[in-house]
A and B are shown apart, each in its own frame.
Chain A
Amino acid sequence: MGWFFIRGYAILVYLFMFLPVAVVVLLSFNASQFGSFPMTGFSFRWFVELAQNDAILRAFRTSVVLGLLTAVISTTLGVLASLALVRYRVPGANVVSTLLIAPILVPEVVLAVALLLFLNVLGINKSFALLLFGHVIFTLPFVILVVQARLVSIRRDVEEAAMSLGASPMQTFFQITLPLMLPAVLAGGLFAFTISFDDITGTLFWKPGGVETVPTQIFAMLRNSISPEINALGTVMIVMTVGLPLLGAALARQLSRKGG
């Protein structure tokens, strides 16, 4: 009896969360002018219009470039930081670790405002580089958490064995450590990309005038009207931010099946 209620309640919660998403996806294929029910037919016309909308295409390009750069920089820094924290006894490792993870715990608005104020004090203007910087700070903790967890599970004696056989510390890293933590590195990079691609709060604060990412573009379009194009764009976003991690997970599983 109790179970029945719990199950029913859970289903309601999921409906509440996912129904709007489903509606957006459904309506993006609606042939009608208006982004609402009833649907009048199935069509790809909003996707086609999307592909012809310069502002959206520009925003899309910005988001992809920003996401890729964020992923590359965050992953590189994250791997280096994890190595330092896990493999070498850096003085104050605990403090550094907490500081690096902190951006997850601080509300994003606070972080966004803080960075902006800080740069104002320094007299630095908003720029794409600043936006990138903000995204890196914001995604770095996720990369570190994922990579660190993996690195801890890589036995030190495997690396020691490689060195005893003649590999320098650098060769050991590229021959042994990196391949063994590759799934985590890829996962971290994907995380960073999707988080960056999705982000709106920080981006609104940090972006220089005239630059729009996909989320800020949607935000701007919403102020005018709820056009069916937005539904189509939403669907694309969902496919990217849900599909990419799933793809990544499948890839990682494939990789670790080969290795161990």
Chain B
Amino acid sequence: MSSVTLRNVVKRFHKFTAVHETNLEIPEGAFVTLLGPSGCGKTTNLRMIAGLLDPTEGEILIGGRRVNDVPIHKRNLGIVFQNYALFPHKTVAENVAFGLRYRDVPKADVAARVQAALDLVQLPDVGERYPKALSGGQQQRIALARAIVIEPDVLLLDEPLSALDANLREDMRVELKRIQDKIGVTTVFVTHDQSEALAMSDRIVVMSAGRIEQTGSPEEVYNNPASEFVAQFLGASNMLEARCTGTDAGGATLEAEPFGQVAVPAEKAQRLGGPGAAQLVLRAEKLLVMPAAEMPEGMITAPARIETVDYQGQTVRYFLRLGERQLQAINMIDERPFEQGAEVRVGFRPKDASALPMETA
């Protein structure tokens, strides 16, 4: 188990910069997720940590040791690939035992350790089979067993669940987290699926176009996004043009049409410099859609008309028209959703709002 550090790391492919100057500290034993849209450089970062790519600039440290010049096979890492990458010509047991032959493991212990790894991934009886006689989910478990049986310093996972179908993915997600908790290995997980990231991680690193946008706990990045990009990428957010009229110890006061004055709590307004142009961030799940009469106390509300209803079973997504503006709201369904064209009120609690400075770019 070791920490991982990226120090001023840059990766260029010819003239194209895939990763801009990146600094990242992954503490020992943590489960850290690199989250971002396709092409933002997640895999590139992971492959540089793995030693499959050389950084153009900067250095990479594993357990405090600079590893830029250490080839992959001497880094003691466990890697799980998107398409499992099992050795098709070896049995499951031979696959799992593969890494042990390059370590000084006594012959007598190999079988026991392989069996322990297979037990851990809950496939104790498939050792004699060949990989193609296993389902996708089973193959991915074996790939995980093969990676952890060597007791790696760091476990690297590049979208390990994305080749699985939806139900299986949820099971594997829980399973993966259970195993990581149990062995406590430092883990770097790459995904573009925000719900995966939120459910599994100790820390999330949100990336966009080769840069880190925000690093924080799942709650932090979800509730207090550092940029419009983060707010939009982690679930749907409504961005409202606003003016900050004043800040104090208790928070910031924003003026945002059509809601009027909103008092945003201090910890959600810390990125505001001071009075001036700002954005009010309202998560779609935090917008409550109600008949005017039933709106609870203490909500900041405005009248709205329902334009589109997107029914999703447990929840419903409304597209609301408020004069010039369109907002999205995701609500639990109580009895039945509103009809299209219904006149309603939309409201939120001030503590659920957050504020960002107006982006200049």
Partner of B81, one of A161, A176, A180: A161
A180 touches B52 (CB 8 A): no
Encode B190-205 as 1/0 by CB contact (under 8 A) with A: 0000000000000000
Q: Tell me, rounded to whole Å, the shortest Cβ–Cβ distance linking B357 to chain A.
A: 42
Encode A148-169 as 1/0 by CB contact (under 8 A) with B: 0000000101101111111111
Contacts of B77 in A (CB 8 A): 164
B81 touches A157 (CB 8 A): yes
Encode A194-217 as 1/0 by CB contact (under 8 A) with B: 000000000000000000000000
For the complex, give the distance between the alpha carbons of A195 and B203 in Å: 62
A155 touches B150 (CB 8 A): no
A162 touches B50 (CB 8 A): no
B78 touches A167 (CB 8 A): no
For the complex, give the distance between the alpha carbons of A258 and B87 in Å: 12
For the complex, give the distance between the alpha carbons of A166 and B75 in Å: 8
Q: Tell me, rounded to whole Å, the shortest Cβ–Cβ distance linking A145 to chain B.
A: 23
Within 8 A of A (CB), among B99-122: 99, 102-103
For the complex, give the distance between the alpha carbons of A259 and B95 in Å: 13
Within 8 A of B (CB), among A129-185: 155, 157-158, 160-169, 171-172, 175-176, 179-180
Contacts of B86 in A (CB 8 A): 158, 161
A164 touches B89 (CB 8 A): no
Task: Across the interface, name the chain A residue whose C-beta is closest to B88.
Answer: A260
For the complex, give the distance between the alpha carbons of A43 and B86 in Å: 56
* Contacts known (A167-B73, A180-B88); A160 close to B98, Cβ less than 8 A: no
Contacts of A168 in B (CB 8 A): 71, 73
For the complex, give the distance between the alpha carbons of A160 and B143 in Å: 13
Q: Tell me, rounded to whole Å, the shortest Cβ–Cβ distance linking B50 to chain A.
A: 6
Question: Chain B contact residues (Cβ within 8 angstroms of A): what range?
Answer: 20 to 34
Most buried by A among B52, B72, B146: B72
A160 touches B102 (CB 8 A): no
Q: Tell me, rounded to whole Å, the shortest Cβ–Cβ distance linking A258 to chain B.
A: 7
Task: Across the interface, name the chain A residue whose C-beta is closest to B50.
Answer: A164
For the complex, give the distance between the alpha carbons of A259 and B89 in Å: 4
A164 touches B130 (CB 8 A): no
For the complex, give the distance between the alpha carbons of A77 and B252 in Å: 73
Contacts of B103 in A (CB 8 A): 166
A164 touches B73 (CB 8 A): yes
Most buried by B among A163, A166, A167, A168: A166
B87 touches A160 (CB 8 A): no
Contacts of A169 in B (CB 8 A): 73
Most buried by B among A158, A160, A164: A164
Partner of A258, one of B82, B89, B147: B89
- Is B22 on the interface with A (CB-CB < 8 A)? no
For the complex, give the distance between the alpha carbons of A237 and B147 in Å: 52
Contacts of A157 in B (CB 8 A): 81-83, 85
Contacts of B177 in A (CB 8 A): none
For the complex, give the distance between the alpha carbons of A198 and B87 in Å: 38
- Is B132 on the interface with A (CB-CB < 8 A)? yes
* Contacts known (A260-B130, A260-B131); A163 close to B85, Cβ less than 8 A: no
- Is B79 on the interface with A (CB-CB < 8 A)? yes
For the complex, give the distance between the alpha carbons of A23 and B114 in Å: 62
Encode B26-69 as 1/0 by CB contact (under 8 A) with A: 00000000000000000000000010100000000000000000
Task: Across the interface, name the chain A residue whose C-beta is closest to B99.
Answer: A165
Contacts of B143 in A (CB 8 A): 161
A179 touches B89 (CB 8 A): yes
B72 touches A160 (CB 8 A): yes
Q: Tell me, rounded to whole Å, the shortest Cβ–Cβ distance linking B186 to chain A.
A: 15
A165 touches B81 (CB 8 A): no
For the complex, give the distance between the alpha carbons of A176 and B101 in Å: 14
Contacts of A172 in B (CB 8 A): 73
For the complex, give the distance between the alpha carbons of A260 and B146 in Å: 19
For the complex, give the distance between the alpha carbons of A215 and B88 in Å: 42
Q: Tell me, rounded to whole Å, the shortest Cβ–Cβ distance linking A89 to chain B.
A: 12
B89 touches A260 (CB 8 A): yes
A166 touches B73 (CB 8 A): yes
A180 touches B85 (CB 8 A): no
B146 touches A155 (CB 8 A): no
Contacts of A176 in B (CB 8 A): 87
Q: Tell me, rounded to whole Å, the shortest Cβ–Cβ distance linking A161 to chain B.
A: 4
Contacts of B99 in A (CB 8 A): 165-166
Given contacts A161-B79, A165-B98, A167-B102, 9 further A-B contacts (CB under 8 A): A155-B83, A157-B85, A162-B87, A163-B73, A164-B79, A165-B102, A172-B73, A259-B88, A259-B130
Can you name 6 A-B residue pairings with CB atoms under 8 Å? Answer: A157-B81, A161-B81, A164-B78, A164-B147, A176-B87, A260-B132
Taking Cβ atoms with an 8 Å cutoff, the residues of B that contact A are 50, 52, 71-79, 81-83, 85-89, 98-99, 102-103, 130-132, 143, 146-147, 150
Taking Cβ atoms with an 8 Å cutoff, the residues of A that contact B are 155, 157-158, 160-169, 171-172, 175-176, 179-180, 258-260
